Amino acid sequence: MALSRRQFIGRLAMGGVAAGLGFSFLSGVAGSTSTGRSLVGGASLPGLFIQPLRIPPVLAPVRSDGEGDHYEITQRVAIAEILPGLSTTIWGYNGIFPGPTIESRSGRPISVTHTNELPVPTVVHLHGGRTPPEHDGYPSDFVLPVDREVPLPFHAIESGDLSNGQRIHQYPLEQPATTLWYHDHRMDFTGPGVWRGLAGFHIIRDEEEDALGLPAGVRELPLMIVDRSFDGDGSLLYPAIDPTALVEVGVSDGFEAGVLGDVTLVNGVPWPVVGVEGARYRLRFLNAANARRYDLRLDPPPPNGFVQIGTDGGLLAQPVQHDHIEMAPAQRFDVIVDFSGYQPGTKVTLVNDFDSGPMGQVMRFIVGARAEDSSRIPDRLTTIEPLDTTSAGVITRTMRFNSGHLNSNNRDRHSWLINGEPFSPDVAAARPALDSVEIWRLVSDFHHPIHVHLNPFQVLSRGLDGPGPYDIGWKDTIDLRPFENAAIAVRFDGFRGRYVFHCHNLEHEDMAMMSNFVVT
């Protein structure tokens, strides 16, 4: 049985004026480093740095032709052994978490046919993709379940879209080499969908990057970092109001600020360990957590720290050195670490300085013998033209990200709003012209990692200062901190149509902190 249109409207009707967060609500906010509340699982925690790191398999195309490479992915329920000796039911792309990695070439189009064997509708979004609107994974562009007994979301009925268990996504990939990721984006249910396992890497490569001589092959490690909580029997815990994730929206009371887990997984393995040679490695960090921010540091530190070479939208103009990296949900940091600076046998721990105890630990590298290394880190990586924000006609808009209230089925519930409005597919916060540059001033009340679909942006300022140390390069997600203002410049190019921008704290996103922009 699907939600009726009326129930839905009732849910979205604003219950009075948006209010500030009450004190009881604030008590759920863990420290000041993430907006969210820790969900304590019943499973006993596995030992740290015992299980070997895994690298997600690279997906082979089912065929290649003049139109590009064609992939197929089946979304299904599967059993994984994540905690040693326990079985965990996941929702996985091809039944695995993380899903298989897609490796593509800039400018060579691909198609991905998704088949949905899950008990719920899903939506597939390629995060960071410069994708036509009909393939971007708009929150109501469902891949409906093959099993037709599953209740359909009313939006599918309304749009008459009853595609039978499959959807073909076409990606032109006219964008530079970078680390993207694909994940579930179902309206109101992205948090539980990603939490259960619907996330994978998509790496775009190009000739410009190939020519640089960066570490590659086994010395290039994609690292998807998340937090999760498990019950004593190994099942994933998520405080959803509706455990079937079919009709009732949102997380249960007290978790509206975000769900934080008590187990760290890297590529689906709890606190893994990996042996590395004494050589340079390229680490592609992705924070795929629902709500947790990380402050990554290596202990003991390498002589050159992290040498950042890229971020969300591609390579930086030149390498930048950091001794630690603050990373909000959905952000990517592409870094080089030179393990030849350590004595063979050194145990190097990746720690998270935003937390202590087990959640202050992420994974471990054990450094082996010094090895031959012909990789380089050139002084110039690519060219980044600053967007022209000074010419007449550049539109400046203000987007406010605040907590508020909604009336849901006659219950007053906490919510998250943009410019005072909850998400509605029919309301656009901006209508930028194709190829125009706009300045968006982002104003926030709490931690809100703000993500814009279609085009990456350049951070112009934070408060009265310039961009922060983690804002350089082409970003698609900015880490907005409590009571902060930031300005970003976006050029809307590629395609006309309707896209979303939203908070990438997935609980905030599901609780309506999303809006549309229409490229005209």
Q: Where does this chain bind ligand C2O (CB under 6 A)? A: 125, 127, 183, 185, 330, 451, 453, 500, 502, 504
What, of ligand C2O, Cu ion, none, does residue 503 touch, CB below 5 to 8 Å by kind? Cu ion
Q: Using alpha carbons, select from 251, 248, 186 the residue that is nearest to residue 409.
A: 248
Closer residue to ligand C2O in complex, CB, 297/451: 451
What, of ligand C2O, Cu ion, none, does residue 502 touch, CB below 5 to 8 Å by kind? ligand C2O
Tokens of residue 509, six digits: 């996103």
Q: Using alpha carbons, select from 229, 227, 173 the residue that is nearest to residue 202.
A: 173
What, of Cu ion, ligand C2O, none, does residue 183 touch, CB below 5 to 8 Å by kind? ligand C2O
Closer residue to Cu ion in complex, CB, 96/454: 454
Query: Which one of 18, 123, 508, 510 is in contact with Cu ion (CB under 5 A)?
Result: 508
Q: Using alpha carbons, select from 209, 219, 221 the residue that is nearest to residue 372.
A: 219
Q: 482 near 32, Cβ under 8 Å? A: yes
How many angstroms separate the CA atoms of 171 and 177, rounded? 14
Q: 223 near 285, Cβ under 8 Å? A: yes
How many angstroms separate the CA atoms of 245 and 243, rounded? 5
Closer residue to ligand C2O in complex, CB, 331/340: 331
Q: How many residues bind Cu ion (CB under 5 A)?
A: 6
Tokens of residue 321, six digits: 């050195």
What, of Cu ion, ligand C2O, none, does residue 293 touch, CB below 5 to 8 Å by kind? none
What, of ligand C2O, Cu ion, none, does residue 155 touch, CB below 5 to 8 Å by kind? none
Between vectors from CA 478 to CA 472 and to CA 481, what angle results, nearest 5°?
115
Least distance in angstroms from the C-beta of 417 to Cu ion: 10
Q: Which residue's CB comes closest to ligand C2O?
A: 127
How many angstroms separate the CA atoms of 259 and 38, rounded? 6
- Please list, in sequence order, all residues whose beta carbon lies within 8 angstroms of the beta carbon of residue 230, skipping any fewer than 6 positions away: 41, 42, 43, 82, 83, 86, 88, 236, 237, 263
Least distance in angstroms from the C-beta of 416 to Cu ion: 6
Least distance in angstroms from the C-beta of 129 to Cu ion: 7
How many angstroms separate the CA atoms of 26 and 471, rounded? 28
Stated as kind and residue range, the H or E segment containing 193 is helix 190-195
> Which sign, positive or negative, has the C-alpha torsion 379, 363, 102, 187?
negative
Closer residue to ligand C2O in complex, CB, 141/338: 141
Q: Which of residues 108-127 bind Cu ion (CB under 5 A)?
A: 127
Closer residue to ligand C2O in complex, CB, 127/196: 127
> Which sign, positive or negative, has the C-alpha torsion 61, 498, 184, 126?
positive
Closer residue to ligand C2O in complex, CB, 137/270: 137
Least distance in angstroms from the C-beta of 502 to ligand C2O: 6
How many angstroms separate the CA atoms of 290 and 508, rounded? 9
- Residue 290 lies near Cu ion (rule: CB under 5 A): no
What, of ligand C2O, Cu ion, none, does residue 405 touch, CB below 5 to 8 Å by kind? none
Closer residue to ligand C2O in complex, CB, 76/504: 504
Between vectors from CA 100 to CA 179 and to CA 298, what angle results, nearest 5°?
50
Query: Which one of 505, 506, 510, 511 is in contact with Cu ion (CB under 5 A)?
Result: 505
What, of ligand C2O, Cu ion, none, does residue 185 touch, CB below 5 to 8 Å by kind? ligand C2O
Closer residue to ligand C2O in complex, CB, 219/228: 228
Least distance in angstroms from the C-beta of 510 to ligand C2O: 12
Q: What x-and-dash track marks residues 438-477 binding Cu ion by CB under 5 A?
A: ----------x----x------------------------
Least distance in angstroms from the C-beta of 15 to ligand C2O: 26
Instruction: Compute, in degrees rounded to 10, the torsion defined by CA atoms 496, 5, 127, 60.
Output: -100
Closer residue to ligand C2O in complex, CB, 329/467: 329
Residues that bind Cu ion in the complex, under the rule CB under 5 A: 127, 448, 453, 503, 505, 508
